Amino acid sequence: MAKKRKLEAKPENGASSEDFEEELVDEEPAATTLLSEAPGEGSASPENEQHLTERSLTEEYSVTQVIESVDPVPDSSVAVEAVPGDDFTGEDDDDEEYNDPDFLHKLLEPFTKEQLVELLRNAVLKYPDLRLAIRQIADTDPVHRKIFVHGLAWNTTAETLKTYFGQYGEIEDCNAVVDKITGKSKGYGFILFKHRSGARRALEEPQKKIGNRMAACQLASIGPVPVQPPVMHVSEYTQRKIYVSNVGVELDPQKVLQFFSKFGEIEEGPLGVDKATGKFKGFCLFVYKSIESAKEGFGGTA
**Total domain count for the chain?**
3
In this structure, the answer to whether residues 256 and 279 fall within a common structural domain is yes
pTM above 0.95, yes or no: no
Select the more confidently predicted residue: 125 or 23: 125
Q: How much is the average pLDDT of 150-179?
A: 93
Residue 245: closest CA among 269, 272, 279: 272
Q: Which pLDDT score is estimated for 21? A: 44
Name the residue range of residue 185's domain: 142-222
In this structure, the answer to whether residues 133 and 160 fall within a common structural domain is no
Q: Which pLDDT score is estimated for 1? A: 47
The DSSP bridge pattern shows strands 280-288 and 185-193 to be unpaired
pLDDT tens for 110-122 read 999 899 889 888 9
Most confident of 70-84, 85-99, 281-295: 281-295
Is 38 contained in some domain? no
Q: How much is the average pLDDT of 22-43?
A: 44
Is 157 contained in some domain? yes
Query: In the predicted model, is pLDDT for residue 206 greater than 70?
Result: yes
In this structure, the answer to whether residues 134 and 155 fall within a common structural domain is no
Is 203 contained in some domain? yes
Alpha helix stretches (DSSP H) within 43-157? 46-69, 101-108, 113-126, 130-140
Query: In the predicted model, is pLDDT for residue 69 greater than 60?
Result: no
Burial label, 174 (beta-carbon count in 10 A; 0-12, 13-18, 19+): buried
For position 288, which CATH number holds?
3.30.70.330
In this structure, the answer to whether residues 125 and 150 fall within a common structural domain is no
Mean pLDDT, the chain, whole residue set: 75
Is 188 contained in some domain? yes
Distance from C-alpha of 128 to C-alpha of 117, rounded to nearest angstrom: 16
Is 12 contained in some domain? no
Confidence of residue 83 (pLDDT cuts 50, 70, 90): very low
Of 83, 118, 140, the position where a domain reaches its end is 140
In this structure, the answer to whether residues 194 and 129 fall within a common structural domain is no
Is 286 contained in some domain? yes
